[in-house]
Amino acid sequence: MCYSARNMSWSRIVLAILASGVLSSLTDWLFMGDWLYKRYDRNPEIWRYPAGTGENKAILWSSVLPFLTCGVFVLVCSGLHLYSYRGTFKLALAVWLIGPVPSTIVNTLWMKVSAPIAASFAFGWLAKLILAAFAVVLILR
């Protein structure tokens, strides 16, 4: 059964945003595990915080911003009446190909970011969007 955003329970929308936001904020930990973290030290001059000092603010923002991504994705799916796996996954893939993939590739061309790190960034974005798609289907449908 499909509902419009107007008729959709806002509590379910908030639940979908929170669930996908919490899970997706953890994807960077998955995609930036120890084996990739060691590759970061190859070009230490690219890091804003040398030796990890003073990075608490960046960690906080990196943990909070996935909620924005998931929130907008959930609201767009609701507004477009996309509640199926096929529809939400197609939108997730389209958003991924429109934004994070080209941006990651261009950044990698201009900055000293290794291919495995770039791939990890890109697939981390795809994981966030897929988690948001799952939340839409499982919670809002």
Residue 63's pLDDT band (cuts 50, 70, 90): confident
Alpha-carbon span 11 to 27, nearest angstrom: 24
Between 31 and 80, residue with greater pLDDT: 80
pTM of the model: 0.85
Other beta carbons less than 10 A from residue 36's beta carbon = 15
Residue 54's pLDDT band (cuts 50, 70, 90): confident
Alpha-carbon span 36 to 33, nearest angstrom: 6
**Per-residue confidence (pLDDT) for residue 8, from 0 to 100:** 65
Percent of the chain with pLDDT over 70: 84
Percent of the chain with pLDDT over 90: 55
Residue type present at position 83: Y
Three-class DSSP labels, the chain:
CCCCCCCCCHHHHHHHHHHHHHHHHCHHHHHCCHHHHHHHCCCHHHCCCHHHCCCHHHHHHHHHHHHHHHHHHHHHHHHCCCCCHHHHHHHHHHHHHHCHHHHHHHHHHHCCCCHHHHHHHHHHHHHHHHHHHHHHHHHHC
